[in-house]
Structure 1
Amino acid sequence: MVCCNPPFRAEHIGSLKRPASLLAKRAEFDDGKCTREELRKIEDEAITAAVKQLQELGIHAVTDGEFRRHMFFDGFHNNLDGMELVEKPSQELYKMYVPDVAGFFKSHAAKPASTMLCKGKLVRNKPMYRPEFEYLRSIVKPEEVKNIKLTLAAPEWYHLRHGEHAFDRSVYPSESEYFADIAKAYREELADLYSAGCRNVQFDDPILAYFCAQSMLDGMTAEGIEPSKVLDQYIQLYNDCVRDAPSDMVIGLHLCRGNFKDGMHFSEGGYEHISKKLFQELNAQVYYLEYDTDRAGGFEPLADLPQDKVVVLGLITSKFPQLEDKQELVKRIHEAADFVAQGNGISREQALKQLALSPQCGFASHAEGNPVSADDVVAKLRLVSDVAKAVWTDAV
């Protein structure tokens, strides 16, 4: 049976362009010039307006735009006991084969100002994402609660970046023990979200897409690290994180190749490097994949997609304001469907049931966002909705 989610063919990734009023108030808060309550009031107003706008545009799987975060990966590790903030980290703490790490250190304007390392036993002792969900739940109709989508940090985020520096060996003698406590914390978080009514989550994970980059594969090999072994560890980590998730909780996974200032990306390489493991071994139902430029390769890896899973095609860029051609997008969706059909021995029409459409990434993976205006975001999301209606007669 084909996965019934995402429930709508027109999707968006999660982050939206933050309004100037929100950025200004957050700057005040960071400078100690306003209270958290005053900041939260502006956040609430901005989120309410964003949800209304998404619904009006036909994007029914709503998020809060990540308006309460500075970076897309905020919310998990920084709320986990045992993780410590490291200000002005030295290059020696990082693995320079990681594409975005190399990009940061090469850019005078983007060197990492801080990072986090595991210095103690990892324990989840408080809700992490539940407050974000609860506010969204309060502003939608009861029948729309199931459509709320929460975006989550990748569990292996700091491990790939820091390797042997990621955790204290006196606390965790082995990687397996370190990963086990991360997975336990995620299982607890997902259970808490489910109890609050959340039925749709999306892990944001550019790291898995980095395993498509030959530069990283070569760099890891040069350091005596077997990339396929690390990828297997990460897939097992994901499966351990979600193993207790109820069957009606949708687990989504978003992969991209970087979405930083001025539309900056960090890596290139097609999904053929990871597609069999990604689609057939990792226990997610929905994959949100970057496909707006040639750097993501062709649609051929979609032949590895099982019939009970869905791919959301990120054919529309969130990095720049120029609008894609509607008919070209329709053509590309059909091309993608042909590879899904080929892999499963089914018709194009059947394969289209396993596809949906979105921008390739969020519009603001970090607070400042991409070089697009609020009007540009509306135009892009309206295009997503219009193309979805043209391809899928059940898209509304």
Structure 2
Amino acid sequence: MTATTPPFRADEVGSLLRPQRLKEARAAFQAGTLDSAGLKNVEDECIREVVAKQESTGLKAVTDGEFRRSWWHFDFLAGLDGVELVSGAKAIQFAGIQTKSESIAVTGKVGFSSHPMLEHFSFLKGAVKTAMPKLTIPSPSVLHFRGGRDAISKEVYPDMDAFYADTAEAYAQAVRSFYDAGCRYLQFDDTVWAYLCSEKERAGIRERGDDPEDLKKNYAAMIAHALKAKPADMTITTHVCRGNFRSSWISEGGYEPVAEVLLGELPYDGYFLEYDSERAGGFEPLRFLPKGKKRVVLGLVTSKFGELENKDGVLARIEEASKFAPLEQFCLSPQCGFASTEEGNILSEEEQWRKLSFIVDVAKEVWGEV
């Protein structure tokens, strides 16, 4: 790992608050008063602007803010062969708030071909001037976990082993395809590992007929297969959080139940770990991080609310984390994206940029680089 290899000392998870102009364009498109070409023009303009803003903030990796998406996960998953976006599905329940009623269903053989986000990445790559373009996609585990067995056609997949194998290979093909498109920094966003740390979520898993420990093994196997396709000069990280919608969350519980597998066994290059509240537990699970091989990006700055963190408090937290893994293997980021869905979290764009600038400044102070 070098200063030019991601994850960077000051990094970000992925999604950014949608500008009002983009929100209005998407609403007009949904209402039928703006065509797809008109929407794309607005998206293109907003992405160019947000890329330039990220670069001027000092970030060394930039995203398109997920500006072409409604959801952090469903838009990508629905672009896979055999997967459809379903309207009228049961809403996702967060603490005190629900999402709109959409989900995904597996109706055919899962595969990866002609995915629209290949073009999305190519546009991002062309918009970047000084930084590294970063692409975020949901982890393969999310395709199963969100709806479970009930969302997967029993006619297409009477045997779940075949589903897991096809999904793993689809993601391996995705890794190869994004690499061929020029992507050298890819991230698998994954709420599932955090849910597996929650007693409430684990109980829910059992109620629907799954075993949490079996899921852990199946998900680890899928991810490991996908990462075997990674060329040596490509970085693939993961981001783990406990849910993020309109500044709310779903699960609670520290990383201890999954840390040995997640940090010690899965062949990721880095881990963006939520650590902005007591819901994430302590730093003790970081002891499973292999020495010298990977980086953990400490999500110590919340993306859920606008109040800026106290610098001394963040520095103290970094020092506390370094009791369990070397400081050299840490970076700093927000605990999640600022807009995992197009609705966005409850803070202003000005507050969002202030937090990203703060992360850059703290990283310079701690590591002398960003």
With normalisation by structure 1, the TM-score equals 0.88
Aligned-pair distance for 1:209? 0.7
- Structure 1 equivalent of residue 366 of structure 2: 391
Deviations 1:20-59 (A, max 9, x none): 0000011001111111111111111111111111111111
Report SS of the residue matched to 1:357.
strand
1:253 aligns with 2:230: no
What corresponds to 2:112 in structure 1? Answer: 124
Please state if 1:27 is matched with 2:27. Answer: yes
Equivalent position amino acid for 2:351 in 1: D
Say if 1:22 and 1:43, in contact at 8 Å, map to a contact too: yes
**Which runs of structure 2 are paired with 1:192-271 in the superposition (5 Å)?**
192-221=177-206, 225-261=210-246, 263-271=247-255
> Greater shift after overlay, 5-14 or 308-317?
5-14
Preserved contact between residue 2 and residue 353 of structure 1 (Cα < 8 Å)? no
For residues 264-283 of structure 1, the aligned pairs below 5 Å read 264-283=248-267
Shift of the alpha carbon at 1:128?
Answer: 3.6
Render the CA deviation track for 1:230-261: whole Å, top value 9, x for unaligned.
Answer: 11111111111221110111111000111112
Residue 158 of structure 2 corresponds to which residue in structure 1? 173
Unpaired runs of 5+ residues, structure 2, are none
- In percent, how many aligned pairs have the same letter? 42
Q: Check the 8 A contact 1:199/1:248 in 2, yes or no.
A: yes
Q: Against the structure 1 CA distance between its residues 88 and 295, is the aligned structure 2 distance closer, same or farther, given a 3 Å change threshold?
A: same
Structure 1 runs not aligned, ≥5 long: 92-100, 341-350
> What secondary structure does 1:135 align onto?
helix
> Residues 318-360 of structure 1: CA distance to partner in whole angstroms, max 9, x if unpaired?
00011110011111111111211xxxxxxxxxx1221000000
Aligned counterpart for 2:338 among listed residues 351, 355, 363: 363
Q: Which amino acid aligns with 1:140?
A: V
Distance 2:22 2:272 in 1: 28
Moved more, 197-206 or 151-160: 151-160
Q: Does residue 1:69 correspond to 2:69, yes or no? A: yes
CA contact (8 A) 2:7 2:295 kept: no
| TM-score, with length taken from structure 2 | 0.94
Aligned CA RMSD, in angstroms, stands at: 2.0
Question: What are the Cα deviations for residues 114-148 of structure 1, in whole angstroms up to 9, with x where unaligned?
Answer: 2221122223231342112111111223x74xx21
Higher deviation after alignment, 372-381 or 165-174: 165-174
* Partner residue in 2 for 1:48: 48
Q: Distance in 2 between matches of 1:70 and 1:220?
A: 26
State the 1:164 CA deviation: 2.0
CA apart distance, 1:304: 0.7
More displaced stretch, 213-222 vs 131-140: 213-222
Equivalent residues of 2:274, 2:298 under 8 A apart: yes
CA distance in 1, matches of 2:8, 2:111: 36
Matched, 1:327 2:312: yes
* Larger deviation, residues 196-205 vs 123-132: 123-132
State the match for 2:127 in structure 1.
139
Q: Is the alpha carbon distance of 1:3 and 1:374 closer, same or farther for their aligned partners in structure 2, counting shifts above 3 Å?
A: closer
Partner Cα distance (1:281, 1:7) in 2: 19
